[in-house]
Structure formats: structure tokens, C-alpha cells
Chains A and B, each alone.
Chain A
Amino acid sequence: MWCSGCGNGLVTGSLLRAIENLDIDTSKIAIVSGIGCSSRAAGYLNFQTLHTTHGRALAFATGLKMVRPELTIFVIMGDGDAMAIGGNHFIHASRRNIDLNAIIFNNNIYGMTGGQASPLTPQGEKATTAPYGAERNFDIMKVAVATGATFAARATTYHLPLLDKLIEKGVKNKGFSVVEALTYCPVGYGKLNKKGDATAMLNWYKENSIPVEKCTTVDHEGKITVGIHHHQAAPEFVEEYTRRTQGVKR
């Protein structure tokens, strides 16, 4: 499914290492995904996997989590999946603080359909539907924090050990956790924007990232901030619902 040089396999590897490290009973893991190259990861994984419709993975996962709170649910989405067509579900899952682990494979482009602009295509960069430069883009961390997510973190495919750790920490957060994994698409995005091959794109991540903790002291203009951007506990949605409705009698 994935092109040679694609970064999606690296993110999927991180997810699997995190699951291994967390030592969760695999029958208690569900992977829910949307539609896109990244969402095809679900079909490669030997868990209870649910490949849904474009943009709706979080809404499917919301129903599943409500009736099966014991499941650890990973919700795999592309950047278009999560922030364009699925943007409404994203902000409301975040507002509710439902215990889902959103893993956003951000390749800054619509990979599956061949390189159209996404809300994460950096402003001014090219896409097949933005031949003169893309619109203003989102910052997923800012959207997550502003809408109420209790855990928000970012790493690139250059920082895999960090990515493993962030996914693990996201799972441990009882609430809506967002991990943005910056992957890369040499075919759909790289070529159009003269970013070079997969190695060059990885190197670019290496040279242009900065740990978010350093941001207070170091000039980080134009850099990718990696690490935990936000972590603050709040009551979890399904637990709250269960608590409020527990005593209800006929």
C-alpha cells in the first residue's frame, strides 16, 4: 500500500513498540482508523481493527469506547482526515476528553489522493490543488490544547525513541491524548516542494526541530517543536457519564 520511502511504516513501528512497552493485553486493544494512506495501517495490524470512513474515525471510536470502556483505543488518522473532514469530530472528542489515543500521521498533504492541499500543508507551499501556494495552516498542538485535550505531544519520524515514549505517555493519560507524528511523503509532498528524497526529508526534520522545553530560552521561530506540549488531567468523559447516570432508576 505505501510507496517506497514513505514514513508511515516508521510511525506504525513506534506505535507497536509503545504497545509492547505498555504490556497491554492485546485483546483489550482496538485500532480505529479513517481513510487515507496512514489509515491503512489498521489493516496491517493483528488487533481488533476498524477501518472507517474519511474523517469519522474519532466518532466511530466514541461509540465503541462508550460501550467498551475497558478497551485501549488508538485512533489513526491522516492530517486531512483528522483536521479537515474530521475537524469537527476532533474538536469535540477533545472537548469531551474521551479516553482515546489519537495518533495523527501528519505528512502535510493528502497522500492517498495524490498530493492535494491539507490544512497542514504549510502556508505558501505547493500542492496539486494549491499550485500557487497553500492557505494558512493549522498547528495541531494549538488546536488540541485550545479545544481541551488533556495530552498533546509531537515528534517527527526522525525522533522515533521520543515518538515511542510520547505514544506511551498518551496511553497513560486518562483522557483525550493527541500525538502528532510528523511523517513525510516524498512522492506527494516532497517532489512538488523540492524537498529531496526520504533521507533528505528526515534530515530536514533533524535540523529543523527543537525540544519544546527549550522554547522559553531559545529562539524557535520557524522550528518544529517536539515533545509534550500539554499534559493536564481532567475528568474523563465516559467515567463522568457513568458516574452521573449510575444511580438512575426506572
Chain B
Amino acid sequence: MGQIEKTRLFQGNEACVAGAIAAGANFYAGYPITPSTEIAELAARKLPETGGKFIQMEDEIGSMAAVIGASIGGAKSFTATSGPGFSLKQENIGYAMMAEIPCVIVNVQRLGPSTGIATAPAQGDIMQARWGTHGDHPVIAFAPSSVRETFDLTVKAFNLSEKLRQPVFILLDEIVGHMRENIHIPHQDELEIINREKPLPDQPYKPYDEEKEVSPLASFGEGFSYNITGLVHDEYGFPTTDSEKTKKLLSRLQRKIDNHLEEIILTEEFGMDDASLVVVSYGCTARSVRQAVKMARKNGLPVGFFRTATIWPFPYEKISAFADKTKTLLVPEMNMGQIFGEVERAVHGQARVVGLNRFDGEMITPDEILQKILEVI
């Protein structure tokens, strides 16, 4: 089998399903919504080919619940939606975080708020991903910029989710989700696939061991009697309101992500050495930025490119590391400035941060970015 056979035109949403299946996904529950619907349609068709299962639930709340239920049964499960559905899933997403149930949630972002424009791209759910569910909690969210990256980050999302017993988000957008690119899908044995750790049989089992960062997860049906709840719980999963145990649990949930920042945070950069202006971008917008920065550099301007594929946890340290060598950071995004604030936090006054925002359903063009570069450099 040559590589040529494996190279073909893929849509972003399609690459997401291919990545999920390559990662071992065998359960999908969802509710149709533009621009994510192709993911549900493909999952419905493809999952049974490898013994997996699909269900169209009655709404997104139920979809998120079924995804968690299936994961508790031992499946690698996922769902896809867009803004309105992402809002509906939030309570149960918090449940998955608290109960530490692995699963992957794809949000193909469209313009909001509310029904907004169903077919228009946006990057407006950055903060919903961060704080959509109530209470303090860590979040992992990726924002791919290309079709191939959608495949790779979907595999990574499943892997991290299994390893850390944590729901993981993929923040696609209408552009990357619907775009087609000719890509090479790696062979299955080129991929690293991580499966959740299982408890040893006939040994006492603590599903939420305080001594461990992440405990093994027994699937229902394997005969380990234990309790799972969204209430604050002890090491055996039984509810408690003890303040000491509460603090321990919530701290551990945060710590298990903080201890893996290097593995989770993926960034890309070029032209940084001489840069007095760095354009910070993510998702579809990074595509225009790449072109604009190349054009600027061709014209002799000291402009750098910094893209983050990981939205949460945000790469504060990486940005802070170059901020003092830079005069200006430009942050183009398809919202009113959601990552902008995070960049400011990272920069902490060491440089000027300028936004370039569109929230009209149109992509930010390379020309617009170049104009802004010329204006603020």
C-alpha cells in the first residue's frame, strides 16, 4: 500500500470522524446542527463498520448524557455540535469533568449568540468552552487550522481524554469544518493510541484515589461495584460535603491538567527571532495570518507568526517568553476579542496588544491583516 492510495480530498468534519475512528471511537450520540451535521452523518454510517454504535438523541442534553453513559460502559465516545447545542451540553460536560469520564466534544463554531447565522463561521465560543459549565474546573480545548490537523488533534483529544479521564473539546469552525484539502491519512500503525487504565481484578478498587493523579476507570459490566456521581465525592465515589475532601478533589482535578501542560500545549511559530510585531492566531484565522506574515516578511517587515493549536490551557508562558522582546502583539480573531484578553494576561504589560476583530460572518482576509500590520508596526 503506497502513500498515494491514502491521500485524498477530505473535508474537515470528515477528517474529524476519521481521526475519531482511528483513535478507537466506537460510540457517538448527537443531535444535528449546522455546521457540524456531517460529523453525525458520517459517524452514523461509519461506526457500525467497526462494530461501533451511533444514536441520534432527542436533544443535545441527552446526547451528552448518552456519551458519558457509553464511556462508563467502556466505549470511547464522542459527540459533535455547534454553539446552541454546545450551550445545552454544558451541565453534563461539567458532570464528566467532576466524575472524570473520558469523552470528546466537537464544537464546529458558527456565528452567535443564539441561532445567529447557522452557516457563518465564527470563533465566538472560546470563552464558552472555558467557562460554559459552572464552577471551577480545568479545560482542554484544541482549535485545528487545517484538515490534516483536525485529524491529528482528534486523535490527540481522545488520547488525552483517556489518559487524564477528562472530557476534551475540539473547537472547529465553519471554515475548517467544511473546507476540503488533499491530505494523507496516516496508517493505523503510525499512530500512538492511548487507552484508559483499568483496575486490576480482585484488588480493592478506588475510582478516585487521592494518592493518584488519575485513577484507573472500571467499566460498568466488569463487576466492580462503585458509585459515580456529580456530587463532591470520596475516593470510592460516594458523596461527601467534607471541606477537606472537597478541596483535595477540586485541586487534584486542576493539577492533573497542570502537570501535563507540555504535552497538551501545541504551538507553531516562525519569523520570531527579529520580530518587533508578532501576530498571535488560532483556528481558521491562522490561515490568513500565515499568508499575511509571509507577505510582510517578503517586504522586509520584522513580523513573527505565533499560532496556538491548543486554546485551553492557554499558552501563557510561551507568549510571555517572547513578549518582552516584542513591541506589539496583534491578535486577529472572529469575535469581539476573546483570546485578546488572554494574550494581555500573558503579556502583562511587557508589550502592546492590538486586536483585529470581525464578527460579521466573514473571514478575516490576509489583506486586512497586512493593512493592520502596516498600521501598528
Contact = CB atoms under 8 A, between A and B. Distances in A.
Contacts of A26: 225
A222 to B, nearest CB: 34
B55 A56 contact: no
Contact of A67 (B62, B73, B228): B73
A60 B221 contact: no
B73 A249 contact: no
A48 B222 CA distance: 9
Contacts of A146: none
B58 A60 contact: no
B151 interface: no
B220 A68 contact: yes
Nearest to B103: A63
Interface in B54-98: 55, 57-59, 61-63, 65-75, 77, 91-92, 95
A22 B57 CA distance: 31
Nearest to A237: B55
A71 B67 CA distance: 17
B244 interface: no
B226 interface: yes
B69 A43 contact: no
Interface in B9-29: 26-27, 29
A153 interface: no
Contact of A52 (B53, B65, B67, B222): B65
Contacts of A68: 73-74, 219-221
Contact of B68 (A43, A60, A241, A249): A60
A48 B226 contact: yes
Contacts of A28: 221
Interface in A13-37: 26-28, 30, 32
A67 B225 contact: no
B95 to A, nearest CB: 5
A51 B61 contact: no
B66 A248 contact: no
Nearest to B75: A67
A149 B221 CA distance: 25
Given A67-B73, A248-B48, A53 B221 contact: no
A62 B59 CA distance: 13
A61 B69 contact: yes
Contact of A60 (B27, B66, B75, B224): B66
B227 interface: yes
Given A48-B220, A56-B92, A67-B27, A62 B62 contact: yes
A64 interface: yes
A53 B62 CA distance: 11
B228 A51 contact: yes
Among A61, A67, A71, which residue has the most Cβ atoms of chain B within 10 A? Answer: A67
Among A42, A43, A51, which residue has the most Cβ atoms of chain B within 10 A? Answer: A51
A221 to B, nearest CB: 35
Contacts of A248: 48-49
B50 interface: yes
Nearest to A244: B48
B27 A63 contact: yes
B211 to A, nearest CB: 23
A216 interface: no
Nearest to B224: A48
A88 B73 contact: no
A63 B231 contact: no
Given A28-B221, A67-B53, A42 B75 contact: no
A130 interface: no
Contacts of A43: 227, 229, 238-239
Contacts of A217: none
A250 B227 contact: no
A30 B225 CA distance: 9
Interface of A: 26-28, 30, 32, 42-43, 46-53, 56, 59-68, 70-71, 88-89, 91-92, 241, 245, 248-250
27 contacts: A26-B225, A27-B221, A27-B225, A30-B221, A42-B229, A46-B225, A47-B225, A48-B220, A48-B221, A48-B226, A49-B228, A51-B239, A52-B95, A53-B92, A59-B58, A59-B66, A60-B68, A63-B65, A63-B68, A63-B73, A64-B73, A67-B26, A68-B73, A68-B221, A71-B220, A89-B58, A91-B58
Interface of B: 26-27, 29, 48-50, 53, 55, 57-59, 61-63, 65-75, 77, 91-92, 95, 219-231, 238-239
Given A63-B66, A245-B48, 12 more contacts: A26-B225, A49-B228, A51-B229, A51-B239, A52-B65, A59-B65, A67-B26, A67-B53, A68-B73, A68-B74, A71-B73, A91-B58
